[in-house]
Amino acid sequence: MFLEIIGLVVFVVFAIMFAIFWFDFKSGNGKLPEAFVQAKKNGTIAPKLIRVFKSYPDKQRFMLFWLQMQRIQACKLDGDLAELGVYKGDTAQILHLMAPEKRIHLFDTFTGFDEADLINEKGEAATYTPQHFADTSLEKVKVKLGQSEKIIFYPGKFSEQCVKASKIKFCFVSIDVDLAQPTSEGLSFFYERLLPGGVIIVHDYNPKWPALMEAVNKFVKQIPENPVLIPDKDTSLVIVKNNS
């Protein structure tokens, strides 16, 4: 009898610990930056953003975006947001929800990789074909993000589309294209148009994408800023533009 009671107590303790862990995991509350916890408590985060956060696969990456956006909003930096490499719009959606007052420019083929960009690829990207990331469409992303005059789409190859945004100044740019060629093009285009204090975040700076890493390394050698690496799931590289 005594052993049965001990067994039951141990079982209940483990069940409670598991329930707490599961709640934290599902709600995304475990180990969050204090600023986010406070903002959530104060009700200053859009309920939809909190919902989307729960299903966003990389919480560190989400927090990198959120903290950078908070910094930009706190210093009232002008300029628009941009994402190069939108795919199904998961990140575009959170960026728009984080700063709905700003225009966001979204660049993607919306039909997968361009064949010419794949030619000199290495590592994981050398196995890609134009079919990768083709299971999306401009229409689907428009439905996901909802109608807003603040959201501007540039469907097509970045090198051909970017000229349409050549007069725009940016404060926040996410580059997530998995390939060296469009990453280089994005860095050159956006850095030139980035306001001092503005940020460029390049996703997938890790040895699985060696050509992308080489392209980024080549670019950062030409600029005065020292990039910072963020230990999110696939490593993001962050460049905050100096005040000139």
Q: Which parts of this chain interact with ligand SAM (CB under 6 A)?
A: 85-88, 90-91, 107-109, 112-114, 117, 133, 157-158, 176-179, 182
Q: CA 83, CA 102: separation in Å to the nearest integer?
A: 13
CB of residue 11 to ligand SAM, shortest distance in Å: 41
CB of residue 222 to ligand SAM, shortest distance in Å: 21
CB of residue 221 to ligand SAM, shortest distance in Å: 23
CB of residue 134 to ligand SAM, shortest distance in Å: 8
Asked if 53 and 90 touch (Cβ cutoff 8 Å), the reply is: no
Q: With respect to ligand SAM, which residue has the nearer C-beta, 68 or 91?
A: 91
Query: Tokens in use for 175?
Result: 């580059």
Q: With respect to ligand SAM, which residue has the nearer C-beta, 100 or 112?
A: 112
CA-based diameter of the chain, in Å? 79
Angular region, 3: left φ>0, alpha ψ -120 to 50, beta rest? alpha
Q: With respect to ligand SAM, which residue has the nearer C-beta, 122 or 197?
A: 122
The beta-strand segments (E) located in 69-204 are 80-84, 104-108, 151-155, 170-175, 194-202
Q: With respect to ligand SAM, which residue has the nearer C-beta, 145 or 239?
A: 145
